[in-house]
Amino acid sequence: MFTLRDKGFLFFVATPYVRCWADLEARGMKMADLPMWDATRDFLLTDVAYRVGTGKYYGHFLMESGVLAHDGHYGTSGTVSDGDEKGMLEAEGKGSFPARSRWNMLQRELDNERVKNDCLYHAFLPRPVAHMVRSGIIPPGEMFADVSALFCDIVHFIQLVANCQPRDVVGVLNSLTTRFDRVTKVHDTFRVESIGDACVIISGAPEKVPNHAERIANTALGMMCLSQEVASPLYGEKIQIRIGVHTGSMLCGVVGTKLPRFIVLGETAVVASKMESHGVPGKIHISPSTYSAIKSRGFTIEERGKTELRGYGALNTYFLVANEHATDDDLCGRPRIGTQEISFINEGKEEKPSFDKKNKKAVQTPSSGSKNPRKI
pLDDT tens sequence across 279-306: 999 999 999 999 999 999 999 999 999 9
pLDDT band at 153 (very low <50, low <70, confident <90, very high): very high
Strand segments, DSSP code E, in the chain are 2-4, 9-11, 142-154, 190-195, 198-203, 241-255, 261-265, 284-286, 299-309, 313-323, 344-345, 352-356, 361-365, 374-375
Which residues 6+ apart lie within 8 Å of 321 measured at CB? 284, 299, 300, 301, 302
Residue 356: how many other CB atoms lie within 10 Å: 12
The tens digit of pLDDT for each residue in 201-213 reads 999 988 899 999 9
* Predicted local confidence at residue 348, as pLDDT: 33
Q: 294 versus 134: which is more confidently predicted?
A: 294
* Predicted local confidence at residue 178, as pLDDT: 92
User: What average pLDDT score do residues 130-141 get?
Assistant: 80
Residue 52: how many other CB atoms lie within 10 Å: 17
Answer yes or no: is pLDDT of 105 > 60.
Answer: yes
Answer yes or no: is pLDDT of 266 > 60.
Answer: yes
pLDDT band at 5 (very low <50, low <70, confident <90, very high): low
Answer yes or no: is pLDDT of 82 > 60.
Answer: no
* Predicted local confidence at residue 67, as pLDDT: 44
Q: How far is CA 104 from the centre of its chain?
A: 28
Alpha carbon of 275 to those of 241, 271, 297, 301: distances in Å? Answer: 13, 6, 21, 15
* Predicted local confidence at residue 316, as pLDDT: 93
Answer yes or no: is pLDDT of 244 > 90.
Answer: yes
Kind of pairing between the strands at 361-365 and 374-375: unpaired
Say how far apart CA 364 and CA 361 lie, in whole Å: 10
Mean pLDDT over the full length of the chain: 76
User: What average pLDDT score do residues 53-72 get?
Assistant: 48
The C-alpha torsion from 272 through 275 and 280 to 285, rounded to 10°, is: -70
pLDDT band at 11 (very low <50, low <70, confident <90, very high): low
Closest CA to 241 of 307, 164, 323, 154: 154
The residues spanned by each domain of the chain are: 20-124, 138-332, 344-375
User: What average pLDDT score do residues 219-245 get?
Assistant: 92
The tens digit of pLDDT for each residue in 317-363 reads 999 999 999 888 889 887 765 544 433 333 333 333 333 444 444 43
* Predicted local confidence at residue 81, as pLDDT: 45
* Predicted local confidence at residue 103, as pLDDT: 67
Q: Is the full-model pTM beyond 0.75?
A: no
Backbone Cα Rg of the chain: 30
* Predicted local confidence at residue 241, as pLDDT: 94
- Domain 138-332 bears CATH identifier 3.30.70.1880: no
Q: Which of 12-26, 38-52, 75-89 has the lowest mean pLDDT?
A: 75-89
User: What average pLDDT score do residues 20-24 get?
Assistant: 76
